[in-house]
Structure formats: structure tokens, C-alpha cells
Amino acid sequence: MSDLRRSPVGQLVNRRNFLQLGGMGLGGVALTSLLAEQGLLAAGSGPIRPEIDAARPYAARPPHFEPRARRMLMIFCTGALSHVDSFDFKPELVKRHDTPMPGQDKLVTFQGENGNLIKPLWDFRARGQSGKMTSDLLPSLGELADELCFIHSMTGKSNTHGPAESQMSTGFILDGFPSMGSWVSYALGSESQNLPAYVAIPDPRGVPQISTRQWASAFLPAAYQGTPFNADKPIANLARPASISADADSATRDFVKFLNERHLAQYPGDTELSARIASYELAARMQLAAAEVSDTRGESAATLALYGVTDPNKNKAGFARNCLLARRLLERGVRFVQLFNGAYAMGEGVGNWDGHKTIATQYPVHANILDQPCAALLRDLKARGLLADTLVAFVTEFGRMPTFQKGASGRDHNPSGFTIWLAGAGVKRGFTHGATDEFGYRAVKDVTSIYDLHATLLHLLGLDHQRLSFYNNGIERRLTDVHGHVVEAVLA
């Protein structure tokens, strides 16, 4: 003890000034708390958590700043769409077709050793006034090149479908984190009080590899998980039983409402009871609204033909109906719609874009399903004025190699550089950002990450990705974790 007292620290800290300093510290904590409660702390200095009314969890809430978009559509091509066969034109890949990739002798990727460079299996051509080169694999989407904002330098953290799908939807390669749609509906609520704030539309053929975790709310309140249904399979148990008339059904709901209100009057101020009653009433309203939004019989013949709803290919017609459902949900105020193209475990790789073995025969099957309906959805959103305040993101979990796999006629997984595109509110039209190398192997110019993508999408919705937060297990959690920057170059 005597040595400590003689030390510089001991001379600075004795019993008296220790108590003084401790009291000052507690006072500082109290002052900070008071300033925070009164909103007097400096802007941008801490997390922002929305104030949520338990009785109205989907009520619209203000963004952090003026948004460019009011709602969002995410189109997710599961299985990993090959960027070098669709949107990322590489003349050098054509020039060096069927030769080894320089500097990558015996390159081993996800499924093993790679063979030679292989040129795109579909010709590229200039599209629109922008002259953007896109391939004949997706000609209808190519025609919309002047509407699209391409990011060719996207990178991910995993070369495995499940973790990569998870990162694109939740920001993390591990399970147990909320999807982007959950974060957005938690932050902003919905403009519709009769439909879910967040709807996931799985492909008619099945679900993605990580299944319902694509639209899970994880540690966010359960109200903000995605509600899955599609045009062919509406919400389960939605229809009124044939044995109950419409009048009897309505009278029953009115009677239940009367009983609930009477019960609530006996317990004034019980917020848990009022929230529970409100949730049941919301469910009833959603049942009625969901039946209406899924009913496309009022759509014109021209609209149905535009989407391909009457196509003889049942898989294409099913996806077309889902695209039409997406538009109907967006125009009715649903905040976030996640539309999936492709399904997992369909046998022989025919269910999604996982082109390992026979890409030349596999991809045209998927392209025929995706191209016309997806392009029609964009055209329809624009024609109705919805694209002006709807943000669209077309994504996939990673890209594919510029080489063929050794002993196969397909391309292996490639998270080192791939393409996504944006459209609609707040983004540049007919614009290209970033680039992969001369073969499409690695992102080399303006390299972007999925964290950056999520930061940018939240920014366009009026949300600060660094401050949108939820406290869980002792950690301030964010969609972008501790990473991410807004890609300013793509903003209009």
C-alpha cells in the first residue's frame, strides 16, 4: 500500500478524490440519460429504435430522414445466376475461350478443380440508348437496360448456397438473424393496415435452400417476420367454410368484437390485453384483404398476357402470377415484398440457377420462366407510376466462375465478383457501377459488399444503417453488423 501511495497514480487517486471522481461520473451518466430522454443529444450519436404501439405493430412510422422510396421489392434468383452469361460482358472471355485462365493453374473452388475459360453461352448485344451489353439469355430484361442500375462488383462472404442466401437476406452467413424485410417493417411499419408489412412470395415450385429463414424475424418481434404466400397457394385456412354463410360469419365477428370490448372495459389500461385483441382483429382484416389481393380475375386480358399468366408452361405461368401478385401487394401499401425465382432440391438441378453440370440446357428452362414475367412487373410498375417511389433490387447469392468445372459442362460457385441490379426510386437509370476483371472472376473496380448493398437500400428508404438497431443479448444489432457504406455513386 505504501508503495502505491508514493507512486504517481497513488498521488492522483486517494480516498477523497476517488469518491469525488466517482460522484462526477455518476452525474455524467444521469445527465446523458436526461439529455437522451429529451432528444437533446447530438444527432447521429446513438441507436434509433422505433416507438411501436403494441396494439398497432404495423402502424406507419417516420423514417430517419427524407426517403427516396416508400416501399421495396427484392427479386431473388436462388441458386446463383451466372453473371458472365447474363449481364457482365467480357470480350476477353470470348477471345480466350477454351484456354486456361492465366495465373490460375489448377484452381480449386467449391466443387473441385476448374477447367478452361468458357465464353458466354449466349450472345451479348447492345441494348437501349445506353448501349448496355446484356445477353440473349434474358432478352426481355435486356430491353429494360435503360431503366436499370447495374452493380458489377458485388462480393459475398460464402461460396455455399445456404450461408450465401442468408447473407444476402439477413446480412449474416450464420442463422439466427432478421431478414432485411423484417428490419424494414420493424423500422417503418406499413402503409396498409389490412395486409402484412412484409410478404415473401416463394417460387411455385418450392422454397429456397434456407427455406423460411429467408424471411424470418429472428430476435426482432415476431410481428415483423415475412408472411409467405403466393398466387397459387394463398394463406392457409383463409377461406370461409361452405357450411357458414357470409352473414353468419360477419355476425360472429361482430359478436366477438362486442365481447372483447366489454372484457377490455373491465381492465382499463391493460396494454397486453388491448394488444392481444388488436392482433386478432388485424388477423381478421388480413384474411379478408389477402383474399382480395390474391384474386386476379379483375385484371385485364392485356395485363395477364403481358405477364405471361396464360402461358402453357405451368411453371412460367405460376411465376407470372406471383409477379402480378407482387405488383398488387405493392400498390396496396405493403412495405417490403420478397419475390423468389427458383426453388431448392428439385432434382437434376432444374429448380434453380445452380448451373454446375449442363448449363447450356438448364439455363434456358429458368430463363423462360423468369424473363418475361419479371420484365412485365417492371414495365407495369412504371406504367402505373409505382416505380417512382418503389425501390427494386434484383439479387442472387453469388456469381459463377468464368471457367467450366473440370469434367463438367457448367460453372462453379463464385462469391468473388458478381452482378446485381437496382431500379426505381432514387437510383440512376442506365448506369453501371464497378467491374470485375477481364474474365469476370474477381471484383476489381469499386468493389462492393453485401453490407454496402444493404446500407444503400436502407438509405434509399430513409434509414441510417448505422443507427437502426435492436438490443439483443447485450449487443446493439444492425442489419449491416459493424460494416457497410452507402454506395453514393448509384444514387440519382
DSSP 367-381: HHHHHHHHHHHHHHH
Distance of CA 27 to the CA centre of its chain: 44
Strands (E), 83-238: 108-109, 112-117, 124-127, 132-135, 148-155, 198-201, 227-228
Question: Are 284 and 358 members of one domain?
Answer: no
* 110: its cell numbers: 467449391
* 3: its cell numbers: 508503495
Question: Are 9 and 90 members of one domain?
Answer: no
* Cα–Cα distance measured from residue 293 to residue 327, given in angstroms and rounded to the nearest whole number: 10
Q: Which residue has the cell 396496396?
A: 332
Question: Are 202 and 281 members of one domain?
Answer: no
Residue 400: what pLDDT? 98
Question: Are 142 and 275 members of one domain?
Answer: no
Tell whether 96 is covered by a domain: yes
Tell me, what CATH number does 102's domain have? 3.40.720
Tell whether 51 is covered by a domain: no
Residue 27: what pLDDT? 56
Distance of CA 430 to the CA centre of its chain: 22
Residue 43: what pLDDT? 47
Question: Are 254 and 138 members of one domain?
Answer: no
Residue 2: what pLDDT? 47
Of 250, 267, 295, the position where a domain reaches its end is: 295
51 neighbors 61 (Cβ within 8 angstroms): yes
Residue 261: what pLDDT? 85
Tell whether 213 is covered by a domain: yes
Residue 39: what pLDDT? 41
Question: Are 361 and 476 members of one domain?
Answer: yes
Tell whether 63 is covered by a domain: no
Q: State pTM to two decimals.
A: 0.86
Q: Nearest-CA neighbor of 78 among 394, 374, 329?
A: 394
Residue 40: what pLDDT? 46
Question: Are 248 and 351 members of one domain?
Answer: no
3 state DSSP class of 413: strand
Residue 348: what pLDDT? 45
Question: Are 364 and 218 members of one domain?
Answer: yes
* Core vs surface per residue 148-165: b (16+ CB within 10 A) or e: bbbbbbbbbebbebbbbb
Residue 41: what pLDDT? 43
Of 280, 295, 310, the position where a domain reaches its end is: 295
Q: Nearest-CA neighbor of 449 among 392, 487, 400?
A: 487
* Cα–Cα distance measured from residue 61 to residue 90, given in angstroms and rounded to the nearest whole number: 45
Query: Domain containing 20: what range?
Result: 2-37
Question: Are 201 and 324 members of one domain?
Answer: yes
127 neighbors 416 (Cβ within 8 angstroms): no
Residue 55: what pLDDT? 76
Question: Are 149 and 220 members of one domain?
Answer: yes
Q: Nearest-CA neighbor of 334 among 429, 215, 492?
A: 215
Q: Which residues of the chain have pLDDT under 50?
A: 1-2, 4, 9, 29, 32-33, 35-43, 347-349
Q: For 264-313, what is each residue's pLDDT tens digit?
A: 889 887 767 776 777 677 777 777 777 788 888 899 999 999 999 999 99
Residue 346: what pLDDT? 52
* Cα–Cα distance measured from residue 443 to residue 461, given in angstroms and rounded to the nearest whole number: 27
Residue 7: what pLDDT? 52
* 255: its cell numbers: 359478436
Residue 488: what pLDDT? 98
Residue 36: what pLDDT? 42
Tell whether 48 is covered by a domain: no
Residue 143: what pLDDT? 98
What count of other Cβ atoms lies within 10 Å of the Cβ of residue 98? 10
Question: Are 318 and 288 members of one domain?
Answer: no
Tell whether 89 is covered by a domain: yes
The domain tally of the chain equals 3
Tell whether 205 is covered by a domain: yes
Of 269, 295, 321, the position where a domain reaches its end is: 295
End-to-end CA gap in the chain: 66
- Which backbone phi and psi does 435 adopt, to 5 degrees? -160, 150
Question: Are 311 and 199 members of one domain?
Answer: yes
Tell whether 58 is covered by a domain: no
Q: Nearest-CA neighbor of 339 among 10, 72, 28, 83?
A: 72
